Structure 1
Amino acid sequence: MAALVGLSGPQGGGKTTLLNGLKGAGIEVDDFKVSRQVQKELGWSSLTNVMESPETMMAFQVKVRDVKYVRELENRARRDVDIILTERTFADIATYTQLWAWELTEQGKWGVKDAIEFLKDYVGLCRENQEVYEGVLFLPSMPHIKFEEDPHRASEKHIDFVSKQLDAFFDHAQPRMVPVFRISTESIDDRINESYNWIQTL
């Protein structure tokens, strides 16, 4: 059974670049993009469809969590490699669900009480699913990274919210048996090196 390591962080922060660097260093990488896969299955061209109603958001995020969990169990079951690094974790999924929920409440499409009730159960499930990882790399937002717009990801204006919610998840909801390594260096090479070295300790 493979050890599974997740990579978390806000949109546009350099996760793909880091994944590619670690792949080049010999780490097996699963670059499956669950949000894009679910959008494809639903026939959506962008994430704007998520915000049509609470029902579309909940249906989308429930499917994202389910598809991601099945994928991670498949990764863990692999016997051809010792370690697999995967993009996004259930901390990210919980965070983006909170983002969409509060956007819907601010737009008057969803009552605050109903949103909180849904989020309480959903985030709890994400916390349980987070136990699938041997460890998590957290790549925080850094001001020197230029954001690139993409219809399949949240917009630049949401980066601060996502960053704070990820921090909160790792501080309060992260399972104790799953360590989190916060990447602190700025250069691509340094990020690759410190991430690679930490993965080897698991």
Structure 2
Amino acid sequence: MDTNRITDKKTLRHEAIARRKQVPPADRAAAGERLAVEAGPLLDGLRPGQTVAAYVSMGSEIPMTPLLRLLLDAGCRVLVPRLGRGLDVGWGELSELDDLHDVAADAGRPTSRRPQEPDGETLGMDALAEASLVILPALMVDAVGTRLGRGGGWYDRALEHRAADVTVAAVCWPWEAVDGPLPRESHDVPVTAVLTPDGLRRL
């Protein structure tokens, strides 16, 4: 995709999601396994008990289950977003993968528009300050760390609470790591690394 000719985030999101939907399920599953392998350098130096903020994948995103399992097996304290029951927004602590469940919509029915969440206490946005590593989703990342998300601004608000020297790694498909430049606004928080099934790139 030629991002130089596109300055509209909505258009970029639409094109990115359309291409993702073309990935066969088997290829998507294999990408999740490779992602966990390529994340190795990110996890070097992490000690049991240290906090890692990650996320639960959904839809056309690269599956995060293998990487989440790797973090849990390493004894990390794993935080994932809790996105949506009224004011119940922040982070949840994931103790095991079996704790994840679908989130009910306002009408009481599960919704596929939100990632699965663990039960338990909802921690505030400021819980991110405890993270030694932040792993977050992206639709696209350019060479200077500008990240294109889904447009809600949730991560930009959350990242205000990160530790100053923490690595913030965006996960995307290999073709979504672009030279850019991507459109950037004053509230956009840059990432410091991009992780794809093809490898890790520090920015």
Please confirm whether the aligned pair reaches a TM-score higher than 0.5, indicating the same fold.
Answer: no
Greater helix fraction, Structure 1 or Structure 2: 1
Q: Which has the higher contact order (CA 8 A, sep 6+)?
A: 1
Please give the TM-score of this superposition, normalised by the length of structure 1.
Answer: 0.36
Greater strand fraction, Structure 1 or Structure 2: 2
Please give the TM-score of this superposition, normalised by the length of structure 2.
Answer: 0.36
